[in-house]
Amino acid sequence: MYRAEGLTRIFPGGTRAVDRVDLKIGAGERVAFIGPSGAGKTTLFRMLNCTLKPTAGRLWIDGEEVGHLHGAVLRAARRKIGTIYQQHNLVPRLHVVHNVLAGRLGTWSTPKALLSLLRPAEVETAHRVLQQVGIPEKLYARTDELSGGQQQRVAIARVLLQDPDVILADEPVSSVDPMLAVGIVHLLTDISRATGKTLVVNLHSVDLALACFPRIIGLRDGRVLFDLAPEAVQDETLAALYRGAPEAEGPAQVTPDASFDSNSSCRPLPKV
Amino acid sequence: MLPSTPTPVAVPFPRSRPSGFVLAFVLLICLTTVASWWAARVDLTALLSREALGNVLAFLAGGFPPALSPEFLGLLLRPTLETVQISLLGTAVALLIGFPLGILATASLAHAGPLHELDLGGRPLRRLLRFLPYAFSRAGLSLFRSVPELVWALVFVRAVGLGPFPGVLAIGVGYGGILGKVYSEIFEAVDPRPLEALQGTGASRWRVFWYGMVPQAFPHLVSYTLYRWECAIRASAILGFVGAGGIGQQIEISMRMFNFPEVVTLIGVLFLMVAGTDALSLRLRRRLL
């Protein structure tokens, strides 16, 4: 799905946010990136979803090199990648239905998109994906009236409607409380399992990453520090990853909850 | 130690030193302001002298009691309606000019920022092609703005003759320049993160504009356009002086005949119209926000 060679991004100030990253992610894989903030996770994701241009190195999506894309071909490539952001990625003044249907914007013609703002097209589909994420009753609510967790579900519904090959989730749960976080990560892994879509996430919570993802990549100072199965991630590995980071930055703890849905795709969370 | 004692902050608050450019700029502004005081021959003693105040009072007293005879009020009906028509139509024309030009003049939509990074990065020719319409629309808007409405009105009176129509055109072109500039600034101030997300779905810039920019900017667009309508009512009064119809023409006639009671009534009518649009736009804004 993804192949990167020496992928580097240097910002105007001279900061090397991402530094010579080599990477291969196969179709249908579920991968979690962890690391202290400032490690370059978000910058890497913005290159993976075709927003930022790599300063150096090369990136292929499905064998197509990203740096050369522009215009309609670039838009077609973006359509294949659905992104869920940390927060603030929905249009606050629009109704939920429009934010969900925005997932179709890569496919719809501009006239159809405009008409849909007046009279929503494909309402049934929007309702169905909202049902999938558990908030069908919010179809006609104003988006800025929803809670953070509900907004994140709308963002997931938008990605479902976009129907991409890859789902990128950049810190999808950092703005919601820990229990909701578990629910949202489960929702994403369940979708990936059911549909075979590749799932790549940035996670602040190491426990959640280790519990739910078969492949963990540690990023520090823009470089890949390790690329391991969760069983192989040792305390020392994590200590090296977060060395020098303030305590609040360290591996976040998630309190396991007995009431938690047991037949979901994640393994039980480690007891604290 | 008391538990509430705050631990001393190790790092002092960073003192930012203004750059040389900022200092020079501020100094220049200050000097220019002081110099203008002399150049404009500002003389507060002249304004506040007993004689000046007496003159002002006498002038105002000449306008009282205002002319309220039924014949005169009946005469006002047509020009008042005409003023409303000029201001409404003028604002509509300004909207037609300002909205499309404002879109073109929005840098974040035209050529700069994350919406274009991958699309235009390393393609200078494509970037130039995107930059040109932006530059031309900005220049056009500046031109429309820099010519005073009064001059536009004189131009259009020459072109299409006396009456309300040149007033409509003058307000339309002049205010089109203002609306376009302000619209583009409103569009650029919008939160860019939802735009990036919309673009991430593979949407074209047009669709990103309608789904991301317009909804976020909408209340500000409406509010500013309504304010411009209010300004247009006042402007149409002035335009009447050069023969562009409306209540201004009536003011000019009464002034020339030194009939100050009539002038006071006319200004009262103008006040009612401005206050009326203000109340209307307030209600509309409350609805929208």
Rounded CA-CA distance B48/A149 in Å is 64
Q: Specify the pTM.
A: 0.82
A21-30, A156-165, B72-81, B117-126: least confident range = B117-126
A92-106, B35-49, B201-215: least confident range = B35-49
Q: How far is A47 from chain B (nearest CA, A)?
A: 9
Number of other CB atoms surrounding residue A16 within 10 Å: 17
Confidence band for B31, pLDDT divided at 50, 70 and 90: very high
Q: Can you read off the two tokens belonging to residue A172?
A: 């999808």
Residue type at B210? Answer: W
Q: Can you read off the two tokens belonging to residue B120?
A: 């235009």
Most A CBs within 10 Å: which of B120, B207, B287, as the mutation test of the A interface?
A: B207
Q: Tell me the domain boundaries of chain B.
A: 75-288
Closest CA to A69 of A81, A59, A57: A59
* Percentage of chain B lying above the pLDDT 90 cut: 40
pLDDT at A209: 92
Q: How far is B219 from chain A (nearest CA, A)?
A: 10
Q: Which residues of B touch A75 (CB under 8 A)?
A: 202-204
pLDDT at B247: 86
A136-150, A213-227, B16-30, B43-57: least confident range = B43-57
A162-176, A250-264, B30-44, B164-178: least confident range = A250-264
pLDDT at A260: 43
Contact A51 B200 (CB under 8 A): yes
Contact B197 A83 (CB under 8 A): yes
pLDDT at B5: 59
CATH of domain B75-288: 1.10.3720.10
Of B114, B121, B202, the CB nearest to A75: B202
Residue B279's alpha-carbon distances to A29, B83, B222, B235, in angstroms, are 60, 18, 14, 19
pLDDT at A100: 95
Q: Which residues of A touch B220 (CB under 8 A)?
A: none
Q: How far is B103 from chain A (nearest CA, A)?
A: 16
Q: Which residues of A touch B193 (CB under 8 A)?
A: 85, 88-89
Contact A74 B120 (CB under 8 A): no
pLDDT at B99: 97
Q: Which residues of B touch A91 (CB under 8 A)?
A: 194, 198, 211-212, 215-216
Q: Is the pLDDT of residue B225 over 80?
A: yes
Rounded CA-CA distance B133/B73 in Å is 50
pLDDT at B1: 46
Q: Which residues of A touch B207 (CB under 8 A)?
A: 105, 108, 110, 113
* Percentage of chain B lying above the pLDDT 70 cut: 96
Q: Mind listing the pLDDT tens digit for each residue in A209-260?
A: 999 999 999 999 999 999 988 888 888 888 888 887 765 555 555 444 434 4
Q: How far is B211 from chain A (nearest CA, A)?
A: 8
Contact A91 B212 (CB under 8 A): yes
Which residue numbers of A have CB closer than 8 Å to B's CBs?
A: 49-53, 66-67, 69-71, 74-83, 85, 88-94, 98, 102-108, 110, 113-114, 117, 155, 158, 162
Q: Which residues of B touch A53 (CB under 8 A)?
A: 117-118, 121-122
Residue type at B274? Answer: V
**CA nearest to A110 within chain B:** B207
Ranges of residues in chain A with a pLDDT under 70 are 246-272
pLDDT at B133: 94
Spatial neighbors of A262 by CB under 8 A, at least 6 apart, are: none
| Pairs across A and B, CB distance < 8 A | 104
Estimate to the nearest angstrom the gap between the alpha carbon of A32 and the chain centroid.
Answer: 9
Most B CBs within 10 Å: which of A43, A46, A49, A51, as the mutation test of the B interface?
A: A51
Q: Which residues of B touch A69 (CB under 8 A)?
A: 118
Of A71, A90, A162, the CB nearest to B201: A162
Contact A70 B120 (CB under 8 A): yes
**CA nearest to B118 within chain A:** A53
Q: Can you read off the two tokens belonging to residue A143?
A: 């988006």
Contact B118 A114 (CB under 8 A): no
Of B118, B207, B208, the CB nearest to A69: B118
Q: Mind listing the pLDDT tens digit for each residue in B241-286?
A: 877 778 888 888 888 888 888 888 988 998 998 899 889 888 888 8
Number of other CB atoms surrounding residue B125 within 10 Å: 8
